[in-house]
Amino acid sequence: MSMENFSEQLDRCRDYGDLFELVKRIVRKKLSKERAGLMLYLGNLPLHIGAFHGVGSNGIVINKRLLNMISFNSATEINSYIFTLLLHEYLHSLGYMNERHVRRLVYEICKEAFGKDHPATKFAFSLPRSKLILSKPLFDEKDTRLEIVKDFERSHLSYIG
C-alpha cells in the first residue's frame, strides 16, 4: 500500500463520517475487506476505554468523555486519534477479535498509510498520558445515554433523491 497522500486526506476530514470513509478506503486497500451498515455512538465511558464495538452488533461507541479530556495541538492530532479509534473498532467489526493482533494491525496500517512519525501512528497503541487534562470536570456517572452520530455510514446513501 503506497502512501497516496493519505495524510492530506486525513487533514481534510471534517467529521466522523469523513474519517470513517478514509478508514474503510485504507482497510479495503490493505486487507481487501469491508462491511457496511455500521452506526457510531458517542457515550460517557470509563477513561480506560477509548471506544468499543460490541461483537455481533452494528455499533461503534466512542468515549465522548475521554475526547473532551484530551488536549490536542492541532486538527491533525484530533483527526489522527479518532481515526485510530475508528480503525481499531472497524477491524473488530470485520471479525478480528484478538486485541493484541488488532493493535498491531492498527499500528502497521497507520505506519504504512501515514508514515512512522505521523500522529496517527503514534496514537496507534495508546494516547500519551501527557495529553489528558484531568482538571476538566468529570462526567455525570449516571449519564449513560448514547448519542447517535448522524451521517456516519455513507456507503448506503443514494445519490438519487
Compute the average pLDDT of residues 3-22.
93
Please tell me the predicted confidence (pLDDT) of residue 145.
87
Mean pLDDT of 11-18: 96
Residue 47 or residue 94, greater confidence: 94
pLDDT tens sequence across 82-100: 999 999 999 999 999 999 9
Cα gap 157→72, rounded to integer Å? 32
Kind and range of the H or E run holding 147: strand 147-148
Give me the pLDDT at residue 140, please. Answer: 62
Q: Is the pTM of this model over 0.85?
A: yes
Class of domain 6-148: alpha beta
Q: In Å, how far are 50, 55, 91, 92 from 60, measured between CA atoms?
A: 11, 10, 11, 10
What is the chain's length? 161
The whole-number pLDDT of residue 47 equals 84
